[in-house]
Structure 1
Amino acid sequence: MYRISFFLLVLAGTGSFVQAQDTTKRRTIDITSSFKPVLRDAVKINFNAAPPAVDTSRPKLAYNIPAQYLFLNYLPGEMKPVALQRDSVKPWENYNYIKVGVGNIHVPYIRTGFSFGDGQRTFFNLFASQLSSKGNLPFQKNSLTDVKLVGTVKTENKLEWNGSLGFKNDAYYRYGYRPDTLKFTSDDLKVTYQTYEGQLSLRNTEPTEFGLLYHPNIRVNVFSSKWKRDANEVNTVFNLPLEKTLGDNYAFDLGFTANLTHYHQSLVGATVDQNNNIYMVNPAFLVKTSNLFLQAAVTPSWDQKVFHLLPNFLADISTSDQRFTVQLGWIGYYDKGSFQRFESINPWLAAPDSFAEYARAGVVWRVQGVYQQPFQLCGEGRIPAV
């Protein structure tokens, strides 16, 4: 206690002494160091996550994409010129023409053609021609006259009728006889051939409900010759084709053909009558694709009641661009003889006393191609395609 009281007295005395010494001096505090509080580094907690389990299920995601309306700027397309393809189907137009000519051997030539019809259901053509010639020798002259009417009528039930009527008159003079001292009149040397012909056919433009396509047709020619021995001949050809479609690429054909010829000749005190008839049945199986056309058929036939089996195989193999086609075939056919056919080859022959026919089967092959301009490849070289 004594020490504490003494310390307090000394302290109070010292304070009074300091205050009494200088009362005008400004009070200041000198800081010799500054305290900067710093936080202790926090302790970080390390998390070790476990790997997720493997999900093998496939999620079903539903997308709802709204319609986008894009307005693109116009861009010109690329131009690639190609060869012009021949259009075989042209709209019907009525044309009329007249051709007149003359040559150095007095050959007046006239040919006319007239067409009429509405162009939708009726189509008609009328053709006529006249040709005459004359040479320097006696009776060296001839004349040819030909008139033909062709028509087509389409009905509302998808049927098409086609027909034609024609008349042909050919006059020849048997000039150039020897010796020149022989005397003949014009009637003695003039030979006249006349032909009346008619044709009628019917076909359906669309298959029936059973997939059938039919095209029956008949053609009749009445041919006559007037000279020393008059002769006439009637040729009739009746054809009944029927096709059954089997889908888009297959078809089956079954046809019947009758080729009939009756020849009559008037002789002095006698007549000659002969028949030359052929009957054929034509079954065939067809394959039609973009690159292949195949026809496999045989033709049973009866020639004067004698049976012949003729082959009829044909194949067209084309490339994808249709620029090259190979055609192969083995075809059997009849080369039938008749007075009308013989006269078309040699108009100077006399009326035959008899005629015959013969059948032959041969191999027919052809290679053709098209590149830019259509052409055909033949043994003699390249010729324009028809």
Structure 2
Amino acid sequence: MRRGLISGLTIVALATAGCSGVGGGGGDGPVEITFSHWALTAPPFDQFTEVMADFNASQDEYVVKPENIPYKDYHRTVYTQAGAGEGPTMISVDSSELAQAVDSGLAEDITAEIEMPSDLSQYEASLEVDGARHAVTFTRHPYAMLVNTAMLEEIDAEIPETYNDFVDIAQEWTDAPDTYGFAFRHTTADTNGWWLDMSNWIHGAGGYWSDESGPTLDTPEVAEGISRMKEFLDSGIIPEGTDAPTYRRLFWEGKIPLLFESLAFSGIFAAQSEDLAESIEVRKHPFAEDSYVSSNNPVFVNASASDEEKAGAIAFLNYMLSDDVQEEMVDSLAGSLVSSDLEFSEATFENNPWLRGWEADNSGLDFTPPGVGPEFQNFRKVILDQMERVFAGEVSVEDGLAQAQEDAEATLE
């Protein structure tokens, strides 16, 4: 039997999964349904409201409305609401949170009603488990290297294609506290962010957190990825203790030349600075391995919704998954990918020229490791607890990973 803390939200959900619907059905006129996310009022996700508007105009049975909830308390809020028989009709979540929703009975089984595109992304295909589907992809966010080419020109450097070139540029631009060569999250104050950043580095070294048989932490490849990050921290190349909003501001102010971020941030940065819009470019990470992390956002139908609302949610999701709308989303969401395995079109590049350097492919690894399932939060915690000790210099990389391996195995027993 698996060990670890069981979330209070899970208990609430299990106790109340049979509650009545979320409301919005009945009476005259179209049935109101809602779609929740944490960034529907900010670029590029605000463009998704156009998809909602087009759906509303295409028929008169349902009206879909956006429901924006701040990210800080987003998952706790929507899961508590859903567990109480309330909340949005359609709930978009971080991929790491989906297993809990399915395990707790919060996510409706939509296998029979959903109409999937023919050419699925690797992540979308993974959402069907043992022939059952409880979610579809809203957006996928591949992580890439964002480059301020104007800063590279100042030191006569080309965009780095190898790890050694990447290190050389980062070192040359480091003149703390005025400028730094790079930045990444490295404390438990930003658990999701630190996990994403570490995942990029260990995948780049050829390592993985786990496979279907269990944790794979005590390997030379994982140790190489963690060691590289620690070297950047110890040498002062990154601003120690700085959070993501701060170092992202430093990037668009021209004080950091290189970042690993999701593709969507390239458009956000370009919108914040005319100079950066002219000089920003996107490339794959400068690692020997091509593997990269994709931060994915699936969406599920609230099992507590009324039958009318569930029917409306299915109608909207089928509309969203249609070929034309999938292409529209790729073109309008500025670097976000979707359910279908689509490449960026010329329209995408015209609106976002910095994306031309990205080779869109289907190899992005979800940041939720395989074989972990609903134990992901506990699995991640025991690893980050040890990595915090490693980064603080309390234990060696090898000893920290060995203990993390032992703790992670115990978590998944």
Same fold (TM over 0.5): no
TM-score, length-scaled by structure 2: 0.19
Higher share of residues assigned helix: 2
Structure showing greater relative contact order (alpha-carbon pairs closer than 8 Å, 6 or more residues apart) = 2
Higher share of residues assigned strand: 1
TM-score, length-scaled by structure 1: 0.20
